[in-house]
Amino acid sequence: MGDDRPKVLHEVAGEPMVRWVVNAVRESGVSRIILVVGHGADDVCAAFQSEDIEFVLQKEQLGTGHAVNVCRETMDGFDGNAYVLAGDGPLIRRETLVQMLAVHEECNAAATLATSIIDDPTGYGRIIRTAEGRFDSIIEHRNATDEQLQIHEIYPSYALFDSKALFEALATLEPNPVSGEYYLTEIPSQLLESGGRVEVVAAVPPEDVLSINTPDQLAEVDAILRSRIETSLTETTS
């Protein structure tokens, strides 16, 4: 990204990209927010120092499943639903989170995933469905067969879990034999195998999935977000 700042602190539309994720979560009605921090932890904490946000340090970066599992002690005693989201997705919308929760609660699901259908799914985990159209698994791009690579429905890291079921599954999650990392994408399948219900909602607009890994991509997302803000202001004042 051109400097040593944590990726999530690079600004889009005048705010650190993680700020937009926090805003969407708050606007959806979530009252408790936990940020998992690693590289540049002090800088990320300082960006939210006057706010009611909890921080958990992930000392070793051992994968997305590990990042969630380090919150186990902090969330001890909590009995409810928990979103698990990426801090580098500033185009996230409140409406998507609200839709996920509605489906999750209506179906009494152990997990609900919001997915996106995009033209070029290269690099993303594919959503595998059963013949009946229900969730089966998430297959990482590098592990997908030629047939699975033709799937355009992807997992953009929008997940909602029953917290008790989540941490029970994380307790038995095995590391990937090649990378040694713990992948959160394995958890929905585990929940399904243990009798839990997993719902999938194709609710993420393709635009919201844009990756930010270069300054040019940062500028592209910045322009989109500024356009949304301008449109929202126009609608509010008209």
What pLDDT digit, counting tens, does each position of 181-196 carry? 999 999 999 999 999 9
Question: Cβ distance 112 to 104 under 8 Å?
Answer: yes
- What was the pLDDT predicted at 238? 62
Residue of 76, 100, 86 whose CA lies nearest to 164: 76
Q: Read off the pLDDT of each residue in 56-77 and give the average, rounded to a whole number.
A: 96
Query: What is the structure's pLDDT at 237?
Result: 66
Give the residue extent of every domain in the chain. Answer: 7-237
Q: What residues form DSSP beta bridges with 198?
A: 111
Average pLDDT over residues 13-25: 96
Q: What is the largest distance, in Å, between two alpha-carbon atoms of the chain?
A: 57
Global pTM value: 0.93
At residue 234, the 3 state secondary structure works out as: helix
Report yes or no: 58 and 37 within 8 Å, Cβ to Cβ.
Answer: yes
158 Cβ contact partners less than 8 Å away, ≥ 6 residues apart? 83, 85, 92, 96, 97, 100, 113, 114, 115, 203, 204
Separation CA 83–CA 96 (nearest Å): 12
Indicate the CATH number for domain 7-237: 3.90.550.10
- Phi-psi category of residue 111: left, alpha or beta, with phi > 0 → left and psi -120 to 50 → alpha: beta
